[in-house]
Amino acid sequence: MEYVEHIVDLVGGTPLVKLNSLAEGLEPLVLAKVEYMNPGGSVKDRIALRMVEAAEKSGELKPGGTIVEPTSGNTGVGLAMVAQRKGYKCVFVCPDKVSEDKRNVLKAYGAEVVVCPTAVAPEDPESYYNVSDRLVTEIEGAWKPNQYANPENPASHYHSTGPELWKQTDGRITHFVTGVGTGGTISGTGRYLKDVSEGRVQVIGADPEGSVYSGGSGRPYLVEGVGEDFWPETYDRGVADEIIPISDAHSFDITRRLAREEGLLVGGSCGMAVAAALRLAERCGPDDVIVVLLPDGGRGYLTKVFNDAWMSSFGFLPPDSSGATVGDVL
């Protein structure tokens, strides 16, 4: 018989898939690391597992404890899955702009979701930062992973994503491209690849235009999960050789093409990362092997990037003539 003890045992070990149509005419081999193959559906399963296990070891998280984290998305799913395995409770705090679908996914895993108003200042007691801090002190046995400051976030990539890429490419990877949110992926994977290759592998961040990583001020953008308006502790400022800024329009165009032309239904930050990888590929040669990491799948974005009316409403597609309205899944 062939089986694992628990779904959590399947975190990591995701495949590399060649990009064909999108990389046509370009000299390097462009490979995608498909992180939606993780059991919780995103790259964040990796950090969830490592952060929880480290907190168990240090004694910060005790049997029967409660995980409290401000998150609305992928990190919440990863934490909820790991918590289920290990018998912890989860309370996630998210702003009310987060779609009901996303909240329901977390509830489906058995987590409690506390919703806070978006339209208040960060220092307001009802802001989602303050509510999560308050809950940590109020709930007995509460522990907050804090993915923006937890060194186990980049460490999980140093010990899993990085070695996987080195092994899967037989040490032939020349460039690693990824989006930057907390910076955990680029810092951990990038640092490992630099160490193992003695600095040969180039590390390239993809960033939404307007975010701090590419010199912006935090101006709003629509791609989710990447870019910041502050510098997280989990971001190693010395690791990236280059940061390539990508517009929302370009990110979403490539995201839609990944589904239609490569059969990869992935999120908007994946389109952004691939856009950066393709830009890089234009100046690389036939011996180069570019790996681009795709953090999550596209099902969570059907009413956004994959919805023509939504795309038109932001000017990313010509005005919609079908009579469809935003919210219709086309």
Shortest gap between Cβ of 109 and ligand PMP (angstroms)? 16
User: What is residue 208's three-state secondary structure?
Assistant: strand
Among 215, 67, 205, 73, smallest CA distance to 146 is for: 67
Sign of torsion, CA 211 194 234 178?
positive
Q: How far apart are CA 55 and CA 220, in angstroms?
A: 34
Per CB under 6 A, the list member of 12, 41, 73, 208 interacting with ligand PMP is: 73
Shortest gap between Cβ of 154 and ligand PMP (angstroms)? 8
Q: What single-letter amino acid sits at 56?
A: E
Catalytic residue among 44, 102, 194, 304: 44
Site string for ligand PMP, 221-240 (x = CB under 6 A): ---xxx--------------
Shortest gap between Cβ of 36 and ligand PMP (angstroms)? 10
Nearer to ligand PMP, 26 or 239 (CB): 239
Shortest gap between Cβ of 192 and ligand PMP (angstroms)? 14
Q: By CB under 6 A, is residue 40 in contact with ligand PMP?
A: no
Site string for ligand PMP, 286-305 (x = CB under 6 A): ---------xx---------
Shortest gap between Cβ of 44 and ligand PMP (angstroms)? 6
Site string for ligand PMP, 147-166 (x = CB under 6 A): --------------------
The rounded Cα 295 to chain-centroid distance in angstroms is: 4
Q: Order of strands across the sheet with 112-116?
A: 112-116, 89-95, 66-70, 142-143
- Residue 148, CA distances (Å) to 23, 69, 158, 163, 230 in order: 33, 11, 16, 23, 10
Strand 29-34 and strand 289-294: the pairing is: parallel
Nearer to ligand PMP, 19 or 77 (CB): 77
Q: How far apart are CA 258 and CA 145, in angstroms?
A: 33
User: What is residue 23's three-state secondary structure?
Assistant: coil
Nearer to ligand PMP, 74 or 214 (CB): 74
Residues in 165-204 at the binding interface with ligand PMP, rule: CB under 6 A:
179-185
Residue nearest to ligand PMP (CB): 225
Nearer to ligand PMP, 72 or 169 (CB): 72
Nearer to ligand PMP, 248 or 320 (CB): 248
Q: How far apart are CA 223 and CA 208, in angstroms?
A: 7
Shortest gap between Cβ of 168 and ligand PMP (angstroms)? 19
Among 82, 83, 63, 79, smallest CA distance to 8 is for: 82
Report DSSP letters for 24-58, one per residue: TT-SSEEEEEEGGGSTTSBTHHHHHHHHHHHHHHH
Per CB under 6 A, the list member of 267, 271, 297, 298 interacting with ligand PMP is: 267
Nearer to ligand PMP, 40 or 179 (CB): 179
- # of chain residues touching ligand PMP (CB under 6 A): 16
Q: For this structure, is 194 an active site residue?
A: no
Q: Which residues does residue 293 pair with via DSSP β-bridges, in sequence order?
A: 33
Give the residue numbers annotated as catalytic, written as ranges: 44
For ligand PMP, the binding residues (CB under 6 A) are 73-74, 179-185, 224-226, 267, 269, 295-296
